[in-house]
Structure 1
Amino acid sequence: MSRQIPALSRRALIGVLAAVPLALPACTAAPPPLVLAAASLQEAMRAAADAWARMGHLRPTLSFAASSALARQIVAGAPADLFVSADMPWMDAVEKAGRIVPGSRAVLLGNRLVLVAAAGNPRTVPLDQAGPLLAAIGGGRLAMADPDAVPAGIYGKAALQKIGAWDRIAPQLVRAENVRAALALVERGAVPFGIVYATDARASTAVRVAGMFPAGSHPPILYPVARLSQGRSADAEAFRRFLLSPAGKAIFASFGFTPR
């Protein structure tokens, strides 16, 4: 003879069964892509993620830092889906470590390197030779991303070397952890000048472009994108293709980046 389930137990069982359909989608749904991107891409990449979400996809999760820091995390095994670097060498390091899905690497964007000053500083500084820059800085300080590791700093060092200013200016540098940190030093008035990307200057109302480095004074500023082998999102490849599409590149162009 079968036993009758006590009333309290039946209610508890019904509650558990009712919760199962709600719990299953959360457990089985594919996660949104996790994108590790150079600090200079913040506004543009957020806009691209928003556009992707409006198309009915899960909005990608975005994490920004210096390309050098992100590359080290990826090589150490960080479970991200896409990497967008601000230079080729750090993407090379990730690829050499076997962390890139073969065939997924492509050049996404380009940029320019500029000297910025506080918005209230009207000075214009020609940057085809050392003299005007040295005169503008005088005994003051110059902010830039770490020239030993961070792409913006590496490009900046190359440009300063090209115009013959590096040896004189190096002792006066304020080295920042990434290009946005260098920008913030100028915004706050902590230093009179900084070297950042043109898109960083465009993103801030607190600074103005005091000069633009000649394109030939440093290696081409290129942003490669690649899918990572340790990624978990089934949507990662589709989002990568969206970034590389005319619609995706148009978003970045609206923030001042040069599509490639």
Structure 2
Amino acid sequence: MKKWFFILLGVSFILTSCGHDNDMAASETTELHISVAASLKDVMDNVKKTYEKENPDTKLTFDFAGSGQIKERVKSGAPIDGILLASEKDIDELSAKTTEKTQFAKNALVLIVPSKNAVQISNLNELSSFDKIAIGDPDSVPAGKYAEETMQNLGVYKSLKEKLVLASDVRQTLAYVASGNAQAGFVYQTDALISKDVKVSQSVPENLHSPIGYYAGIVKDSTHKAKTREFLQYMTSKKGQEVLAKYGFKPVD
């Protein structure tokens, strides 16, 4: 009888220890909250799977929005560990709230039209041919600001202002054109690649707008700075750059 008692006691101890180990493993997982520019959504879904597989002690939670919206969230003290923005200007304006600014990708601006029954133009000087042109709100969406700069440098912004349909982020701009609610729109080249309902009408020369760069930073109030740093280093690593390249993003020089 005593023999069975000690056997059962041993089994109970082992099961209790295993449960304790599992609890310890779960408690050691760090969840990082990263706010990400909307134009990065598709590639970041891939990054999440790859990174979490290679780093099982880290869970990535992303929220996607326009870079300007993310900037305001950081300023208001939202619980964010790191940021990935599509504008150097926006991250520079957060220098008091963030640290370790790092560029990790580049992009290009294009004019898109619906895949079917689109108004055709031969160059950007013919933008007046469109009744409605979708762009991100220049006050909060970097892609919209680049589009505004492009039209200003072409000398057509004032004449087209009444035709502009403002979107909350670049993905909404894409949706406006894909659905036919706008005849054309300015988005990033990478956004144009993800939808079969739009096609590129014109590529925008780089000299018509500010450089399009993606920048990362660590929020100073984060309690997970070391883990956030590891993740941001992954974005500039060879593996991270290869994932970005698959989605059309250009590498940093």
Same fold (TM over 0.5): yes
1:108 aligns with 2:108: no
Distance 2:169 2:229 in 1: 27
Structure 1 residue ranges without an equivalent (≥5): 1-13
1:31 CA drift (Å): 2.3
Please, what TM-score do these two structures have when normalized by structure 1? 0.84
Which amino acid counterpart does residue 81 of structure 1 have in structure 2?
Answer: D
Residue of structure 2 equivalent to 1:10: none
- Secondary structure of 1:210's counterpart equals strand
Flag as ranges the 4+ runs of structure 1 deviating above 4 A: none
1:142 CA drift (Å): 0.7
**RMSD of aligned C-alpha atoms?**
2.1
CA offsets 1:88-114 (integer angstroms, 9 cap, x no match): 11101111xx2213xx21111111111
Residues 160 and 105 of structure 1: CA distance in aligned 2, closer, same or farther (over 3 Å): same
1:142 aligns with 2:133: yes
CA offsets 1:26-45 (integer angstroms, 9 cap, x no match): 77324222111100000111
Instruction: Kindly indicate whether the alpha-carbon contact (under 8 Å) linking 1:111 and 1:197 is maintained by their aligned counterparts in 2.
Output: yes
1:127 CA drift (Å): 3.9
Alignment of 1:183-202 (within 5 A): 183-202=174-193
Distance 1:127 1:257 in 2: 24
Aligned residues: 236
Residue of structure 2 equivalent to 1:236: 228
Residue of structure 2 equivalent to 1:29: 28
Residue of structure 2 equivalent to 1:204: 195
Residue of structure 1 equivalent to 2:243: 251
**Paired-residue identity, %:** 27
Instruction: Kindly indicate whether the alpha-carbon contact (under 8 Å) linking 1:146 and 1:178 is maintained by their aligned counterparts in 2.
Output: yes
Residues 125 and 110 of structure 1: CA distance in aligned 2, closer, same or farther (over 3 Å): farther
Instruction: Kindly indicate whether the alpha-carbon contact (under 8 Å) linking 1:127 and 1:212 is maintained by their aligned counterparts in 2.
Output: no
Residue of structure 2 equivalent to 1:173: 164
Structure 2 residue ranges without an equivalent (≥5): 1-11
Q: From the two aligned structures, give the one with the greater strand fraction.
A: 2
Distance 2:120 2:80 in 1: 42
Alignment of 1:17-56 (within 5 A): 21=20, 24-25=23-24, 28-56=27-55
CA offsets 1:185-223 (integer angstroms, 9 cap, x no match): 111111111111111101111111011111100001011
CA offsets 1:15-73 (integer angstroms, 9 cap, x no match): xxx69837853773242221111000001111112111121333411110000000110
Instruction: Kindly indicate whether the alpha-carbon contact (under 8 Å) linking 1:31 and 1:232 is maintained by their aligned counterparts in 2.
Output: no
Residues 250 and 125 of structure 1: CA distance in aligned 2, closer, same or farther (over 3 Å): farther
Instruction: Kindly indicate whether the alpha-carbon contact (under 8 Å) linking 1:32 and 1:235 is maintained by their aligned counterparts in 2.
Output: no
Please, what TM-score do these two structures have when normalized by structure 2? 0.86
Instruction: Kindly indicate whether the alpha-carbon contact (under 8 Å) linking 1:123 and 1:210 is maintained by their aligned counterparts in 2.
Output: no
Instruction: Kindly indicate whether the alpha-carbon contact (under 8 Å) linking 1:32 and 1:60 is maintained by their aligned counterparts in 2.
Output: yes
Instruction: Kindly indicate whether the alpha-carbon contact (under 8 Å) linking 2:112 and 2:184 is maintained by their aligned counterparts in 1.
Output: yes
- Secondary structure of 1:51's counterpart equals helix
